[in-house]
Amino acid sequence: MKSLEEYKREGQNLFHKLHLSTYPVAIKYIDDIDQIPENAMRPSVFGKKFALCQAFTMARRHGSTVALTSEDNFCTPATAVHRWKDIPLDTLIESQIRQKWHKDINAEKRKFESFVTLVGENYFQKNPEHIGFICSPLTDTQVIPDTVLVYCDGLQLTHLIQALSYEHKYVPNSSFEGFGESCSKGGLIPFLTQKPQIVIPGTGDRSFAGIAEHELAMGLPADLLFYVMENLFKTGGPMNIGFPQRTMIAMDLNEGLTPGFKYLWDEMH
């Protein structure tokens, strides 16, 4: 098992080697309120509430350690999906029908069938195991994380995927629907399945958390961070596209490329 200091160090390495614009996020799921560090921000202490995606923003952009339970989270579907409260699946589905994100009840049922297929048939029947989470910048995390969530651009995501696929052992296999992406696929599903997920931030992410239009993300089971770092930039050996991206430079061009170029060349000679 890796130490807290090793997680911090590799978080720093990932941040710098990929030139990330924000810190990787360390996510730890808790089963007791006593597991929350003393200096962690809890919105409810100030009479406020955050969504989970907002807590990620506070961690990655502001360097804050944030703890959320159901009392701190206004995004009730996320509380229900995370099982921080024991909510029946039928009740959760009814809440989403009223949201009108999908066409009808059959569409909502198909959506949750896909989720249950990923996380286990008895997920919504068993007793809740966690009451909330702690998220913080991985570079300064106070707890060993369960999941690491990395916000990035397309090139940075390509490098993460290539590192995971270098031995074709941890190839990400994700589906997308535009809702609950960062909180579910960025944190919960990698934790429950121990498999990486690619995240295309969805409606809540963009409405509440200020996620930029170009930003994508990846959620990793925390211990896969070390595998990524071991294999980062190895794909293709010297042909790796690198960072900044090495692109093909057009060769065998000359002054006849455009009429204006050609005119000036002739005038010069």
pLDDT > 90? residue 148: yes
Percent of the chain with pLDDT over 90: 90
Alpha helices in the chain (DSSP H): 4-17, 52-62, 76-82, 89-99, 105-119, 154-164, 189-193, 203-208, 224-231, 259-268
Q: What is the mean pLDDT of residues 182-211?
A: 95
Confidence at residue 117, expressed as pLDDT on a 0 to 100 scale? 93
Q: Domain locations in the chain?
A: 4-86+127-239
Confidence at residue 178, expressed as pLDDT on a 0 to 100 scale? 87
- By the 8 A CB rule, do 24 and 60 touch? yes
pLDDT digits (tens, 9 = 90+) for 11-63: 999 999 999 999 999 999 999 999 999 999 999 999 999 999 999 999 999 99
> Residue 121: CB partners within 8 Å, gap ≥ 6?
none
CA angle 50, 89, 28 (to 5 degrees): 40
pLDDT > 90? residue 249: no
pLDDT > 90? residue 204: no
Confidence at residue 180, expressed as pLDDT on a 0 to 100 scale? 86
Q: State both tokens at 219.
A: 């959620």
Confidence at residue 199, expressed as pLDDT on a 0 to 100 scale? 97
Q: What is the mean pLDDT of residues 223-246?
A: 95
In angstroms, the first-to-last Cα distance of the chain is 71
Grade residue 227 by pLDDT with cuts at 50, 70 and 90: very high
Q: What is the mean pLDDT of residues 72-86?
A: 96
pLDDT digits (tens, 9 = 90+) for 126-143: 999 999 999 999 999 999
Identity of the highest mean pLDDT range in 98-107, 148-157, 169-178: 148-157
How far is Cα 128 from Cα 131, in angstroms, rounded to an integer? 8
How far is Cα 135 from Cα 27, in angstroms, rounded to an integer? 5
